[in-house]
């Protein structure tokens, strides 16, 4: 049995977007000083795409509840649950940063106020980075599991 088409489309779209989000967060956003004129745009794209991906995952979960789909057991079941949880913890820690440093006003409303000089001191930053790292490891485990046999990968294509 294959996953329903809506789940497959959303899964692959999320998979393609998630990897640049992680790499972009680590190697681009983190390395960019708050004084960089491109920082506001970079944060705006990062935050908007992040919210979009989480919304898509929510839609995928709703479809999952309503339509017949393959069932998982054992390690795969727990890795999938952890992936769903991780995907929801990312915006929660993200929004903690947004509200504690008023990033919505600075980034989206372009209030003109300066970004915190050291972004890593914002409440939630540590948890956002720690969740991203845990998700990276889980995704690697997930990819290894997905290619374990052809039956597994065929369910999602």
CB 7 within 8 A of CB 60: yes
Helix, strand, coil in percent for the chain, rounding step 5: 75, 0, 25
Closest residue to ligand HEM, based on beta-carbon distance: 25
Closest distance to ligand HEM from the beta carbon of 54 (Å): 6
Determine, following the binding rule CB under 6 A, whether residue 58 of this chain makes contact with ligand HEM: no
CB 57 within 8 A of CB 90: no
Site for ligand HEM in 78-97 (CB under 6 A): 80, 83-84, 87, 90-91, 94-95, 97
Site for ligand HEM in 132-151 (CB under 6 A): 132, 139, 142-143, 146
Closest distance to ligand HEM from the beta carbon of 112 (Å): 18
> Alpha carbon of 50 to those of 20, 41, 126: distances in Å?
11, 14, 17
CB 93 within 8 A of CB 127: yes
Q: List Cβ neighbours of 29 (8 Å cut-off, separation of 6 or more).
A: 42, 43, 46
Residues at the site binding ligand HEM, with contacts judged by CB under 6 A: 11, 14-15, 18, 21-22, 25-26, 29-30, 43, 46-47, 50-51, 53, 64, 70, 72, 76, 80, 83-84, 87, 90-91, 94-95, 97-98, 103, 119, 125, 128-129, 132, 139, 142-143, 146, 152-153, 155-156
């Amino acid at each position: 049995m294959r996953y329903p088409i809506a789940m497959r489309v959303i899964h692959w779209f999320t998979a393609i977007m998630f990897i640049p989000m992680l790499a972009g967060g680590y190697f681009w956003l983190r390395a960019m000083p708050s004084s960089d004129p491109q920082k506001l745009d970079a944060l705006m794209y990062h935050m908007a795409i992040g919210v979009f991906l989480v919304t898509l995952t929510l839609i995928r979960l709703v479809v999952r509840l309503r339509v017949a789909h393959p069932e998982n057991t054992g390690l795969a079941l727990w890795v999938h649950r952890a992936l769903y949880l991780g995907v929801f913890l990312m915006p929660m820690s993200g929004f903690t940063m947004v509200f504690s440093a008023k990033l919505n006003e600075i980034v989206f409303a372009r209030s003109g106020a300066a970004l915190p000089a050291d972004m890593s001191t914002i409440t939630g930053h540590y948890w956002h980075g720690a969740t991203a790292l845990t998700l990276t490891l889980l995704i690697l485990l997930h990819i290894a599991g997905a290619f374990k046999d052809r039956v597994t990968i065929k369910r999602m294509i």
